[in-house]
């Protein structure tokens, strides 16, 4: 064995870095970001921020923390920020469990969490949904986990965890419960109000989706002040950079109407797209987010065909319960209309190939 194979933690040897297809496509429906673009006040703040970057930002983003507290309607000691909500999730797993503890989650869900659990020497335990795709509270309770992770609306399914299931879980478990609400604005429901009743609940949010600021990496958590201060220890200083902090502040203070309007449009377009997909024989799962998941055995062929026609969708293969599927980000209707036309061409081409017969050029 050479010295090189000994480098690093033993537990990291079979962890692979996150990879995702970011190759150029004319229409990119792969990552659930805001297809209407950057909100205008934030865009101005980014342009104005250049002179500030020779100095460090606030150590724990105090001003942003207050603005997020105002947005959510809690006191600022209940907020922790981070370099994307990924950072908040990672820090929470590190802060709120000891090495070797279990992290229970329902598959399929946001896979990054499984990696973060392993990177922090925790043991992810993936449990199935119930037969009607519902949150499997009994399995989560039985898993003897130190942390339970739920995602609502869930990525990649889009499904919303019903409020009574969340309350039952919180009533019965001694575990810390993390609820990832990256898409909460589109669902119009949130669990964050439960953080005042349950001091072991952390609700995690982001400015990467409804707020159109994915490239700046700003996320936050909401929870009891004592829980949040533990997460902050693990998070570390200076995680929200100076440009991101200014743009996020501008968006929170000045872009409310823009965000509200585009969330409303995304929801309307999602439901319209779902109807169109049903008519094409590709029914999506019910979604509370700004994307739709379509389970279909044709997923792989369709994703390849769509990519060759300039449209990127996210392909999943072998998802627990759902098998192969494509996930489609919802955007302006003009973009959705082009997607649907392209999808019809892809379906026709795929049917020709399935038939093994004559291929149209
Ligand atoms: C997109 C997404 C996030 C956001 O991650 P950021 O690091 O804030 O960009 C978090 N959780 C889920 C489930 C997501 O889909």
Q: What's the CA-to-centroid distance between 349 and ligand 1, angstroms?
A: 34
Q: Which residue has the tokens 């909460």?
A: 184
Q: Strands, E, within the chain: which ranges?
A: 27-29, 79-83, 102-107, 123-128, 147-151, 176-180, 201-206, 218-223, 291-295, 311-319, 323-329
In sequence order, which residues have a C-beta less than 8 Å from that of residue 82 and are 6 or more positions away? 88, 91, 218, 219, 220, 221, 235, 239, 240
Answer yes or no: is the C-beta of 180 below 6 A from any ligand 1 atom: yes
Q: What's the CA-to-centroid distance between 206 and ligand 1, angstroms?
A: 7
Mutate to test the pocket of ligand 1, among 88, 110, 159, 239 (most ligand atoms within 8 A of CB): 110
Q: What's the CA-to-centroid distance between 7 and ligand 1, angstroms?
A: 30
**Residue with CA at minimum distance from ligand 1 atom 2:** 182
Q: Which residue has the tokens 């419960």?
A: 177
Answer yes or no: is the C-beta of 182 below 6 A from any ligand 1 atom: yes
Mutate to test the pocket of ligand 1, among 182, 235, 241 (most ligand atoms within 8 A of CB): 182
Q: Coil, strand, or helix at residue 221? A: strand
Does the model's pTM come out above 0.75? yes
**Residue with CA at minimum distance from ligand 1 atom 15:** 155
In sequence order, which residues have a C-beta less than 8 Å from that of residue 167 and are 6 or more positions away? 194
Answer yes or no: is the C-beta of 155 below 6 A from any ligand 1 atom: yes
Mutate to test the pocket of ligand 1, among 86, 204, 244, 288 (most ligand atoms within 8 A of CB): 86
**Residue with CA at minimum distance from ligand 1 atom 3:** 182
- Among 74, 32, 18, CA closest to 183: 32
Q: Which region, left, alpha or beta, applies to residue 290 given φ > 0 means left and ψ of -120 to 50 means alpha?
A: alpha
pLDDT in tens, the chain (361 residues): 555 567 888 888 888 888 888 889 999 999 999 999 999 999 999 999 999 999 999 998 999 999 999 999 999 999 999 999 999 999 999 999 999 999 999 999 999 999 999 999 999 999 998 766 677 999 999 999 999 999 999 999 999 999 999 999 999 999 999 999 999 999 999 999 999 999 999 999 999 999 999 999 999 999 999 999 999 999 999 999 999 999 999 999 999 999 999 999 999 999 999 999 999 999 999 999 999 999 999 999 999 999 999 999 999 999 999 999 999 999 999 999 999 999 999 999 988 888 755 544 4
């Amino acid at each position: 064995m050479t010295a090189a194979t000994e480098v690093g933690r033993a537990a990291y040897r079979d962890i692979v870095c996150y990879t995702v297809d970011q190759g150029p496509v004319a229409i990119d429906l792969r990552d659930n970001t805001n297809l209407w673009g950057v909100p205008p006040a934030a865009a101005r703040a980014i342009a104005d921020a250049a002179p500030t970057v020779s100095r460090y930002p606030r150590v724990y983003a105090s001003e942003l923390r207050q603005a997020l507290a105002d947005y959510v309607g809690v006191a600022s000691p209940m907020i922790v920020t981070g370099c994307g909500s990924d950072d908040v999730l990672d820090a929470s797993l590190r802060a709120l469990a000891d090495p070797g503890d279990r992290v229970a989650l329902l598959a399929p869900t946001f896979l990054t969490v499984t990696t973060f659990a392993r990177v922090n020497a925790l043991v992810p335990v993936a449990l199935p949904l119930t037969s009607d795709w519902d949150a499997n509270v009994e399995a989560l309770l039985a898993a003897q986990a130190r942390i339970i992770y739920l995602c609502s609306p869930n990525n990649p399914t889009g499904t919303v965890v019903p409020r009574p299931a969340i309350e039952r879980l919180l009533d019965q478990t001694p575990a810390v419960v993390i609820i990832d609400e990256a898409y909460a604005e589109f669902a119009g429901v949130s669990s964050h109000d439960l953080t005042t009743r349950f001091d072991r609940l952390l609700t995690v949010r982001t400015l990467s989706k409804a707020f159109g600021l994915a490239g700046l990496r700003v996320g936050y958590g909401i929870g009891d002040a004592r829980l949040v201060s533990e997460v902050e220890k693990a998070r570390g200083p200076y995680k929200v950079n100076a440009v991101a902090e200014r743009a996020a502040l501008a968006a929170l203070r000045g872009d409310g109407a823009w965000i509200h309007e585009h969330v409303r449009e995304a929801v309307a377009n999602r439901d319209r797209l779902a109807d169109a997909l049903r008519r094409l024989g590709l029914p999506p799962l019910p979604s509370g987010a700004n994307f739709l998941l379509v389970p279909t055995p044709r997923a792989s062929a369709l994703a390849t065909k769509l990519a060759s026609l300039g449209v990127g969708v996210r392909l999943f293969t072998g998802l627990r319960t759902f098998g192969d599927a494509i996930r489609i980000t919802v955007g302006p209707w003009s973009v959705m209309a082009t997607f649907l036309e392209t999808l019809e061409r892809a379906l026709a081409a795929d049917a020709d190939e399935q038939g093994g017969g004559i291929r149209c050029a």
